[in-house]
Amino acid sequence: MILSGTMQINSKQHLEIGGCDTVALAEEFGTPLYVMDEEQVRENCRRYLQAMQKKYPRGKILYAGKAFLVLAMAKLVAEEGLGLDVVSGGELYTALKAGFPAEHLYFHGNNKSRQELLEALEAKIGRIVVDSFSELQELQELSASRRQKVDVLLRVKPGIEAHTHDYIQTGREDSKFGLGFSEAREAVRQILSAAPYLELRGFHCHIGSQIFQLEPYRLAAKAMLDFMSEVRAETGYVASELDLGGGLGIRYTQGDNPPSIETFVETVAAAVQDEAEQRKYPLPELLLEPGRSITGEAGITLYRVGVIKEVPGVRCYVSVDGGMMDNIRPALYQARYEAMIANKALQEPVKTVTIAGKACESGDLLLVDTCLPPVEKGDLLAVFSTGAYCYAMASNYNRNPRPPVVFVRNGKPRVVVRRETYGDLLTLEEL
């Protein structure tokens, strides 16, 4: 089992998180229920900042909002002194409504609409990360019509193959994100020669997500400094910022062994410093964008066990009151998790079962062939490491209301997202 942060087994043999008994949380707030260890989230933010300050004083940490972003999370990120990257008008709106400082917002995305770009300009956010020639042209037109200077980064594909799932590799040549090196050089020339309202501050790349090996980051740093040196030689432009994205993996199972936050930051910082020194390139400000590694292991999801169905000679299905609606990752990425019976936390695992969701899909399986103590209807199942990309990707499939999100800290829970009701499902509908 993966007990991280403040998680422990209490005297009642129940799983506890943030000083709160999970059985009591389920009774008070119902299930399914997302629970976030607020202290662990804050501690991870601080570890990133401290590591960056120690290894690369001209560095900045941006939280990748796509992992998990609600008003309370945006406020927490601001309180901890991180910047925030957003990838849609909705994420931008959330951040601004939470009072997040606009100058510390970075706007990503491969297909930003004209309206989204306009909203970013009106908010005067810190950086817009340009992803394509068409976006470059549209942003140039909007900034010129408003006579507004805009600071931009240019997203580049470094052609690095990260060892992760195909769907979450983003830095290779065959990717919908960013521009190849030759295209990016042309984009630089266009910005420098024909875009008077665009201020090119530097370059961005992101090689993927849930990455355990650090060598791809070293290769990305080398590829980007090679590219930046070539641009300098061709145009005289020297980038003041280099954003190498995020992607550090977390533990979903006991077999997972990702590098620590400190090792990740130290490795990337050293690679950039070494590559810049070799080329006599002025050391740029280094930006990193962790998301999953800040919130992932800090979250659990609680479910109530319902129907238990033994298929003789095949498997035992244990159905819970959630599923792919609140965690699409097993169906989408074949992601693996670990779980425990939260009300029987010290009982020995003795039976191999498959945890099935309640969606009307044969593929709605949260855990396949996992070993648990004897399971009974009404037991409370806790699935670990669900703090990233679960609430963020949740849906109302089969007209299921989305679960609430509760932050826990020092024995006190607080609802940061209330449970949806059936009425909420109909809010936008008309007969």
> Which residue type sits at 335?
A
**52's tokens:** 């960056």
φ, ψ for residue 345, nearest 5 deg: -65, -25
Question: SS3 letters for the chain?
Answer: CCCCCCCEECCCCCEEECCEEHHHHHHHHCCCEEEEEHHHHHHHHHHHHHHHHHHCCCEEEEEEHHHCCCHHHHHHHHHCCCEEEECCHHHHHHHHHCCCCHHHEEECCCCCCHHHHHHHHHHCCCEEEECCHHHHHHHHHHHHHHCCCEEEEEEECCCCCCCCCHHHECCCCCCCCCECHHHHHHHHHHHHHHCCCEEEEEEECCCECCECCCHHHHHHHHHHHHHHHHHHHHHCCCCCEEECCCCECCCCCCCCCCCCHHHHHHHHHHHHHHHHHHCCCCCCEEEECCCHHHHHHHEEEEEEEEEEEEECCCEEEEEECCCCCCCCHHHHHCCCCCEEEHHHCCCCCCEEEEEECCCCCCCCEEEEEEEECCCCCCCEEEEECCCCCCCCCCCCHHHCCCCCEEEEECCEEEEEECCCCHHHHCCCCCC
Of 391, 394, 177, 175, which Cα lies nearest the Cα of 291?
Answer: 391
**C-alpha 379, offset from chain centre:** 30
Q: Active-site residue among 45, 205, 360, 371?
A: 360
Of 61, 69, 60, 73, which Cα lies nearest the Cα of 87?
Answer: 69
φ, ψ for residue 283, nearest 5 deg: -60, 120
d(C-alpha 322, C-alpha 355), whole Å: 10
Mark whether 360 is an active-site residue: yes
What is the set of active-site residues?
A: 360
